[in-house]
Amino acid sequence: MSPRLDLSSSISAVVIASRERAHFALDESLATGTLVFIVPETSPTVGAHTAGVVSISELLPDGNFPPLSTKRAVISHEMIHAAQSDFAFTAWSDGLQQAIAKRIPGGSIVSRYVDANLTLPLQLLANGLIDYERRPWEKEAVSFAKHDK
């Protein structure tokens, strides 16, 4: 199998990197194996995971996430989401993409080099429909992430 371009992660990286005052966090990216960006405080969140890219607020801690009081805890929390996303992609999206690609002229060739991440729209929809405190994936990330006190 040849390497493939993760289209969703590539788009997410470009969008996050183009935010005003956002900067690439080389040390954190090398430590986690995931693209990590430090971004200005633009919302009530301290971290986010979007399609293989982690962004963390340059202002920590944030009152809305008292257990996530350090950069390490925020990165740990977001890396749990990265693992969740990788599992969903491997378990569902990859097989679905291959099945669809076989039915589209030229789809198998494109699919050999590009991952579309077909689970991403479902993840975004679920985030929109379920309150933060009730999301099972958030409960899992909170329970597994290291929370320094």
Reported pTM = 0.73
CA distance 37 to 19: 10
Which pLDDT score, from 0 to 100, does residue 63 have? 46
Query: Phi and psi (nearest 5°) for 10?
Result: -65, -45
Indicate the length of the chain as a whole number: 149
Tens of pLDDT, residue by residue over 53-86, are 888 777 665 445 555 567 777 888 888 888 888 8
CA distance 63 to 66: 6
SS3 of 35-80: the string is: EEEEECCCCCCCEEEECCEEEEECCCCCCCCCCCCCHHHHHHHHHH
Which pLDDT score, from 0 to 100, does residue 62 have? 46
CA dihedral 17, 23, 28, 34 (to 10 degrees): 0
Cis preceding linkage at 3, omega within 30: no
Which pLDDT score, from 0 to 100, does residue 103 have? 92
Instruction: Report, as ranges of residue numbers, the positions in the chain whose pLDDT lies below 70.
Output: 1, 41-45, 59-69, 146-149
Tens of pLDDT, residue by residue over 119-128, are 778 888 888 8
Pairing of strands 5-6, 53-57: unpaired
